[in-house]
Amino acid sequence: MQSRVVALGLPTASVRSAPVRGSTATLDDGRPDRPELIDRYGRIARDLRVSITERCSLRCTYCMPEEGLPVIPEQLLLSTDEIVRLVGIAVDDLGVREMRLTGGEPLMRRDLVDIVAGCRRRCPDLRISMTSNAVGLARRADALARAGLDRINISLDTVDRVRFADITRRDRLPAVLAGIRAAVAAGLDPVKVNAVAHRATLRDASDLLRWCIAEGASLRFIEQMPLDAEHGWQRAEMITARDVLDELSRSFRLEPIGRDDPSAPAELWQVDGGPAVVGIIGSVTRPFCDDCDRTRLTAEGTVRSCLFGDDEVDLRAALRSGADDATVADLWRGAMWRKPAGHGIDEIGFVPPERSMGQIGG
């Protein structure tokens, strides 16, 4: 990171500043003439997150309002062909190397298998993954694997059915467990389970880890961020990476083994001498913004450079007004050049973004 910054003569992202909010200022001055998605702090985005819907089969309290998010009319969502075209531009023109479908819940889209197959045909070497709650995955895991999905992250906070229903506001635990088993059986590799660290489910952390180890899934806990639609997040109420580690240490012997990749922010711990490993992501208490290599497309086709920056650039409008690939790529580069230094959650005066996790795509 440091050497990239020096080479470009740019400030480091760790010189923190408040995220740019809804800014329309032109900050492209000084951008080096390079094809990649570089920002003012020398970071290069190679990991694309594509949200494909705001709809969801669950209503996790830390993400969605009880009634769900406002519905996006179908004609305002990126179509299958538009998604495939934008992914092709990201890979061919902008140097993106991996792509993750997210939402909302990607399985809510009927054309999900077509989207995966289209991206695979367009970009044969791209690593394609998906983040999903796994409701309904049992029926579609094989088709997704055949279409070209490589791997999957599944969200699951507890294997206790009552507390699962409390936190997701839906009694769908059996469907989720069946979905995880189907993903393993379909050969998706790795199958990772993501658990948001939460006061209501902290006591279930060890049971969840035992279940994941037995089923061949790799578990990672993540600190809850202020991205809930109801803006109820409070720093003082947060369960930290340290709390999760303390809870797991009551049942397991955990040895730190570092990170597997600087931009894959989980700190890894070997469980009871291995081979099992558990990851803990301190997104709030140990931010990894300095190494962030993500660029995001919302379901409506805007580029979002950061989860926490409300500044978005509309690529759907460009596509629909007949822009060529080079023009779309330039708009994308400009959006990423303005990426904020960091989320600033622990700073005085922090303001959460307008959009919630389910509207941005986690």
User: Which residues contact ligand SAM by CB under 6 A?
Assistant: 56, 62-63, 102-103, 105, 131-133, 155, 194, 196, 222, 224-225, 227-228, 357-358, 362
Q: Which is nearer to ligand SF4, 109 or 120 (CB)?
A: 109
Which positions from 155 through 214 interact with ligand SF4, judged by CB under 6 A?
Answer: 155
The two tokens of residue 290 are: 């300095």
Answer with the entry of ligand SAM, ligand SF4, none that 87 interacts with (C-beta below 5 to 8 A by kind). Answer: none
What beta strand segments (E) does the chain contain?
Answer: 37-38, 44-45, 47-51, 98-102, 127-132, 151-155, 191-196, 218-222, 254-258, 267-271, 277-281, 294-297, 302-304, 312-314
How many helices (H) and strands (E) the chain has is answered by: 11, 14
d(CA 341, CA 360): 18
Residues 6+ apart with CB under 8 A from 23: 311, 338
The binder of ligand SF4 chosen from 19, 88, 104, 118 (CB under 6 A)? 104
User: C-beta of 168: minimal distance to ligand SF4 in Å?
Assistant: 6
User: C-beta of 54: minimal distance to ligand SF4 in Å?
Assistant: 8
Stretch that binds ligand SF4, among 9-17, 73-81, 97-105, 114-122 (CB under 6 A): 97-105
User: C-beta of 345: minimal distance to ligand SF4 in Å?
Assistant: 18
Stretch that binds ligand SF4, among 57-65, 92-100, 184-192, 214-222 (CB under 6 A): 57-65
State the Cα angle at 335 between 111 and 342, rounded to 5°.
Answer: 100
d(CA 211, CA 221): 14
d(CA 224, CA 62): 7
Which positions from 113 through 152 interact with ligand SF4, judged by CB under 6 A?
Answer: 133
Q: Which is nearer to ligand SF4, 294 or 339 (CB)?
A: 294
Q: Does 103 bind ligand SF4 (CB under 6 A)?
A: yes
Q: Which is nearer to ligand SAM, 20 or 196 (CB)?
A: 196
Residues 6+ apart with CB under 8 A from 219: 192, 193, 195, 208, 209, 212, 213, 278, 279
Q: Does 51 bind ligand SF4 (CB under 6 A)?
A: no
Altogether, the residues listed in the chain come to a count of 362
Q: Using CB under 6 A as the criterion, which residues of the chain lie in contact with ligand SF4 when the complex forms?
A: 56, 58-60, 63-64, 103-105, 133, 155, 357-358
